[in-house]
Amino acid sequence: MGPEDLAQVLRHLTCTGLDPDLLVGWNTGDDAGVYRLREDLALILTVDYFTPVVDEPYDFGQIAAANAMSDVYAMGGQPLLALNLAGFPAGKLNLSVLAEILRGGEDKIREAGALLVGGHTVEDAEPKYGLAVVGLVHPGRVVTNAGARPGDDLVLTKPIGAGVLTTALKKDEAPPQAVEGAVRVMATLNAAGAQAMQRVGVNACTDITGFELLGHAREMARASGVGLEIRADSVPLLKEAEELAARGFFPGGAHKNRAYFAPYVELARPLAEHLELLLFDPMTSGGLLMAVPSSRTAALLEAPELSTRRPAVIGRVREGPAGIIKVL
């Protein structure tokens, strides 16, 4: 669902009876819940599932699982256990399709060093797949989206533009090589980014998924009480994303995201329509966006886990106005 509809529904929930051991609840729009079990151990809980974004069932399974576990990495944790969540039109599609989706997911779970312990599948009009994930983190090492400080650099660990590529794919207009590249990026675990940020020490982190770069950046700015500045020309794009964006292959989610988040975004200068919309393009399974003290930026970019993935400095944290993203 788009952010506008979701906000309508979620405002009816109240967080009453908060427990002091609930370190991160849902009220800061963070990636996962974090609950302290002991002085040296906290649980991370998160769930994510969606409809297919690519044609190959195995690839879809990998992407959905990588995305679900990404919220654990975004909190600085390590996935421990996973449960499959699936919907499938059993009478309409061959069961081998579901088997391939689950195989893709299981391979990713294993790659993450986590354990698949069960799941739940329902009849559904179209396939859906994802995971509920339990992860672990030291309570003192939780990385929230609320710790960004003025002067921090903003580092992004994966290119954006997957929504444009998968929309073009559905219309048979995406070059196969570009699709392959997008699948590889979306299926890549955010484990390396999580390890690097734990070693170097960052102030805040979130992952870039359905609410796209500016939406997730806005959540970080709001939760941290700071402003952010993003340089549009420093944001890495997937191959062919700009060309396909210029031809108008945007998913409906990009327009919904822009409608909802535009009031929090200030453009320093008008951007070409397609370039602006790209910043609102749902990424499905994107990278980590980190706010890192500028004295540690070089160490983060050169961290052995991360350096080969070409992380990019895309902007910085400003004093204010709080919750506002300036796009240069």
Applying CB under 5 A, the site for Co ion has a residue count of: 4
> Which CB sits closer to Co ion, 31 or 212?
31
The answer to whether 207 contacts Co ion (rule: CB under 5 A) is yes
Minimum CB separation of residue 207 from Co ion in Å reads: 4
The answer to whether 71 contacts Co ion (rule: CB under 5 A) is yes
> Which CB sits closer to Co ion, 71 or 152?
71
The answer to whether 31 contacts Co ion (rule: CB under 5 A) is yes
> Which CB sits closer to Co ion, 144 or 198?
144
Identify which range of 42-50, 147-155, 300-308, 319-327 contacts Co ion by CB under 5 A: 42-50
Identify which range of 67-75, 101-109, 163-171, 290-298 contacts Co ion by CB under 5 A: 67-75
> Which CB sits closer to Co ion, 23 or 178?
23
Minimum CB separation of residue 246 from Co ion in Å reads: 29
**Which pair of structure tokens corresponds to residue 278?**
């790209």
The answer to whether 152 contacts Co ion (rule: CB under 5 A) is no
Identify which range of 46-54, 143-151, 217-225, 315-323 contacts Co ion by CB under 5 A: 46-54
The answer to whether 30 contacts Co ion (rule: CB under 5 A) is no
| Per-residue 3-state assignment (H helix, E strand, C coil) for the chain | CCHHHHHHHHCCCCCCCCCCCEEECHHHCCCCEEEEEECCEEEEEEEEEECCCCCCHHHHHHHHHHHHHHHHHHCCCEEEEEEEEEEECCCCCCHHHHHHHHHHHHHHHHHCCCEEEEEEEEECCCCEEEEEEEEEECHHHCCCCCCCCCCCEEEECCCECHHHHHHHHHCCCCCHHHHHHHHHHHHCCCHHHHHHHHHHCCCEEEECCCCHHHHHHHHHHHHHCCEEEECHHHCCECCCHHHHHHCCCCCHHHHHHHHHHHHHEEECCCCCHHHHHHCCCCCCCCCEEEEECHHHHHHHHCCCCCHHHCCEEEEEEECCCCCCEEEC
> Which CB sits closer to Co ion, 59 or 71?
71
Q: Which of 3, 48, 101, 254 binds Co ion (CB under 5 A)?
A: 48
Minimum CB separation of residue 76 from Co ion in Å reads: 13
Single-letter amino acid, residue 161: G
Minimum CB separation of residue 295 from Co ion in Å reads: 27
> Which CB sits closer to Co ion, 207 or 276?
207
Positions touching Co ion (CB under 5 A) are: 31, 48, 71, 207
